[in-house]
Amino acid sequence: MDLFEYQGKRYFARFGIPVSPGGTADTVEEALAAADAAGYPVVVKAQVQVGGRGKAGGIKLAATPDEVRAHAGAILGMDIKGHRVKRLWLEHATDIEKEYYVSFTLDRGARAHLGMVSARGGVDIEQVAVDEPEAIARAHIDPSVGLTEHVARRMVEEAGLEVDARDGAIGIMLNLYRCYVEGDADLVEINPLVLATDGRVLALDAKVTLDDNAAFRHPEWDQFRDLDELDERERLARSKGLQYVGLDGDVGIIANGAGLAMSTCDVVNQVGGRPANFLDIGGGASAEVMANALDVINSDHNVKAIFINIFGGITRGEDVANGIVTALGRVDIAAPMVIRLDGTNAEAGREILRTVESDQVLSRPTMLEAARTAVELARARTAGPGDRADLAGSTS
């Protein structure tokens, strides 16, 4: 998960890395309040997950409320390399003496962490790496040893940081390395790390990529999930803990296991239909999970038919069928449903499903037949009852 600058700075602050005081704003009014709180002069910064915001006009200094109003108004809604600006970060502006670069990331080839420091900060570091590779001091860090003060000092000396900035930079590097390891990041980058005219060294930008595999031990990461980026269906699915990806077809899909859910999407396509979503309910198929999945499918108004595709492995067919029957008692389905149940004790499960079968709830023994039925149902409902072939002529 990539963090926005304001989130990255909050993460940095937890590890003792100095950043400027500031706040977020989604409107011009909020920007004025955030500027007041940060203290003038301020810098108004577009929050998008892409570099080069400065060059694109997404970062402006403001000395007065009028300037904040003008810049905030211009930057909100701006398009920066395909990213629409919905949020600003305003912080107290720093008088910059020098801009540096520092980062830690994983060098998979070397099986070690890689630290980089440069006195050519603030600019495109990839370009520096090409034009002047010697301007970047690099060090591999053995994870079992960690970053020592000795190594950090050697790096800032080799990179040629101003003598006045070295102690501050070393302190920040040690904390940034902790943020990278203890904070379970794949990448932490400060560009620019600055030496201010008053002698302080601090982070003016923050790029943090968290390792999603470590999310289980960081409940606090939930605050970083930008739910605004998700559509309504995905937001609902996430709040219910379901693995869901919204698509733009009309056959709602529920399957157990990511592989089966993907195959289900493929089979629906193969028989000429279009999946409305990918939804993996995981190994089991309890009434609770099934009801949640149906709620999410119901929230998608494009869904014209529902296809439940369950392969009982460890979960037995009777349990799956009972889960579906109970869920149907709790949730009103918004579209007809086709169930394909196979695997362990499938026949016993289908026997149970027979008790709820109707023209709205159908059961088919194979995946292909079930897909065909679901796609036909969706098509018939899209065409509208008046156009249905089986009704043609019935009014004349």
Contact residues: Mn ion, CB under 5 A:
191, 205
The amino acid occupying position 188 is V
Question: Minimum distance between the CB of residue 251 and ligand GDP, rounded to whole angstroms?
Answer: 42
Q: Is 189 a catalytic residue?
A: yes
List 64, 79, 81, 96, residue binding ligand GDP (CB under 6 A)? 96
| Choice among 91, 99, 189, 318 that is catalytic | 189
Output the CA torsion 179→185→191→193 (10° steps): 0
The CB-of-62 to ligand GDP minimum distance in angstroms stands at 11
294: partner contacted, choices Mn ion, ligand GDP, none (Cβ within 5-8 A by kind): none
What is the full DSSP assignment across 23-51? EEESSHHHHHHHHHHH-SSEEEEE--SSS
Binds ligand GDP by CB under 6 A, chosen from 53, 178, 304, 372: 53
Q: Which is nearer to ligand GDP, 191 or 302 (CB)?
A: 191
Question: Alpha-carbon distance 190 to 209, whole Å?
Answer: 12
Output 35 or 285, the one with its CB closest to ligand GDP.
Answer: 35
Smallest distance from ligand GDP to CB 223, Å: 22
Residue 381, token pair as written in the block: 């409902």
**Cβ contacts of 239 within 8 Å, gap of 6 or more:** none
Pairing of strands 22-25, 243-246: unpaired
Q: What secondary structure does DSSP assign to 85-150, as a single string? A: ---EEEEE---EEEEEEEEEEEETTTTEEEEEEES--SS-HHHHHHH-GGGEEEEEE-TTT---HH
Interface region with ligand GDP, contact rule CB under 6 A, candidates 54-62, 129-137, 232-240, 300-308: 54-62
Element (H, E) at 72: helix 65-75
- The answer to whether 101 is a known catalytic residue is yes
* Residue whose CB is less far from Mn ion, 8 or 349: 8
Per-residue x/- mask for ligand GDP, residues 180 to 209, rule CB under 6 A?
Answer: -----------xx-----------xx----
Residues noted as catalytic = 101, 189
